[in-house]
Amino acid sequence: MDVQRRTTRQRQLILDTVKSLGNHPTADAVVNAVRSHDAHVGRGTVYRNLKLLSEEGLIRVIKAPGGNRFDARCDEHAHAICTSCGAVADIELPYREDLDRAAGAQCAYRIDSHYTLFEGVCPACRAKEGACPVPRTQPDEAPR
Amino acid sequence: MDVQRRTTRQRQLILDTVKSLGNHPTADAVVNAVRSHDAHVGRGTVYRNLKLLSEEGLIRVIKAPGGNRFDARCDEHAHAICTSCGAVADIELPYREDLDRAAGAQCAYRIDSHYTLFEGVCPACRAKEGACPVPRTQPDEAPR
DNA sequence: GTGTTTGCAAACTTTTTGCAAACAC
DNA sequence: GTGTTTGCAAAAAGTTTGCAAACAC
């Protein structure tokens, strides 16, 4: 009952793009990069394929506030996200299945998995913040 | 240089609503509940105050895919979210500061914190899924 | 040829914002 | 009275969807 999946030029291009970008791009960043190779690829096509590719296990989704990120690295690890600019870094952190079991024992849900997201400030944004010990409300440039 | 914060009727109502709803409501659920007490409260007011209240530490934000949830419980714990209906449950899981230190040592970010989100299926949705071992694409009712 | 996939544009969801009027202090 | 906060409506940001044409097999 499975759907016949076809190898389209676009699908391959999107996968290659996530792999070559490397840096946990947003869907929008993938759209832009893909369009630099083929200007006529539709936004919907990119979203559809990013979802498909992640379902097939060829890429991974990072569910981040402000928009999902996509990771060509499929082995287990966690991520840190910059709360100022949204940049994502890999964090080596082994998956703990025991946490899933412990959580499942607590709450009547069937627990399938979990993810951990670290929040902080990346080196570039720290530099912009200046040397003040307490984080300022807003640097001279609005990072959005 | 701090802003003078005022105690408005709306702010208090929004806080009381999150507390009385109890079940990790979405912003939209808070809007609806608040409006059942006062139909003229603006959506923007609710969003603004949910953010303010969380900055003040009176409520906590759960950064969930599909929309933030708000928790009146402010002590340390994690959450499980139902991937079918979005229902959120509390999971007792102590905060591990050592993970922040370990992550910070790995990646050049200043790591401020982390959160862990469990994903699974809540009892109600499991019942709807029926007894089939493989999760079906869609139950008879579309939970959206 | 058949059935999947695409491009496009429109719709949708969640959240933010501009601004004058209303309100807290 | 001063300065914050509100209500409203519009805009933003991220994502999904309907549909005919294009394409993979």
Written as six digits, the tokens of A89 are: 């870094």
**Residue-level pLDDT at A66:** 94
Tell me if chain A has a CB within 8 Å of the CB of B61: no
Contact B95, A116 (CB under 8 A): no
Contacts of A139 (CB under 8 A, 6+ apart): A128, A129, A130
**Residue-level pLDDT at B130:** 62
Written as six digits, the tokens of A21 are: 């970008």
Q: What is the pLDDT along chain B (144 residues), one digit of tens a residue?
A: 677 899 999 999 999 999 999 999 999 999 999 999 999 999 999 999 999 999 999 999 999 999 999 999 999 999 999 999 999 999 999 999 999 999 999 999 999 999 999 999 999 999 987 655 444 444 433 333
**Residue-level pLDDT at A129:** 73
**Residue-level pLDDT at B129:** 73
Q: How far apart are CA B55 and CA B5, in angstroms?
A: 12
The residue lying closest to nucleotide D14, measuring its CA against C1', is: A67
Three-state SS for B104? helix
Cα dihedral sign, B6-B8-B14-B16: positive
Q: How far apart are CA B41 and CA B32, in angstroms?
A: 10
Cα B3 versus chain centre, distance? 26
| Exposure b/e, B12-21, CB count within 10 A at least 16 = b | ebbbebbeeb
Q: What is the pLDDT of residues A7-24, one digit of tens each?
A: 999 999 999 999 999 999
Please identify residues in chain B, positions 12-41, with a C-beta within 7 angstroms of any atom of strand C.
Answer: 26-28
CA A47 to C1' C5, whole Å:
13
Residue A137 has pLDDT above 50, yes or no: no
Contact B127, B133 (CB under 8 A): no
Please identify residues in chain A, positions 41-100, with a C-beta within 7 angstroms of any atom of strand C.
Answer: 41-45, 48-49
| Overall pTM surpassing 0.75 (yes/no) | yes
Q: How far apart are CA A45 and CA A65, in angstroms?
A: 23
By CA distance, what is A2's nearest residue in B?
B137
CA A128 to C1' C4, whole Å:
49
